[in-house]
Structure 1
């Protein structure tokens, strides 16, 4: 289903609100929010690949980033990936996770250039 620009904006706003609530939620409330976040992400077109090693509810971009799938990207594409990860910081990954991934990308890029 193709979404209009207004529908995408509404879903993005809803996602921002849910991610904000998830930062302070615990227990069952966090699980419920995680399900709601997943539903919004699916509507926005971000699905999971269904790989068994993925944690349920963790967006594919996060699991791929942590697995090093983006290490061979160009600088422009990698920056776009980092920006796409921003809404998931402190919910599904830490700032240190992002720094470690960026450092790995830098090291891989230096090896490719040499």
Structure 2
């Protein structure tokens, strides 16, 4: 359940921040019963940040913790966790290893 929640949080964070993606379009021509590739176009597009994803992230965060009741040490740990999530989101386009603030190595790919 926790892995699913982390994946959901990473995907929502990516959507909330916006991202780029490649769109491939291929055009075929049928002659003599066989399809032949006529044109291939690859375009890089940008998905703008989504406010609904930000709202969903805030809702998930509110369900997890009440920051007004946290100690300074707990707030510092939460800050490091959120920074690690941001790093993970930045590397989602190119799966790679990230080192979390706790020194753990993780592979992130979506």
- Fold shared per TM-score above 0.5: no
**TM-score tier (shorter):** 0.3 to 0.5
TM-score, with normalisation over the residues of structure 1?
0.35
Specify which structure has the higher proportion of helix: 1
- Computing the radius of gyration over CA atoms, which structure comes out larger, 1 or 2? 2
**With structure 2 as the length reference, what TM-score do the two structures score?**
0.36
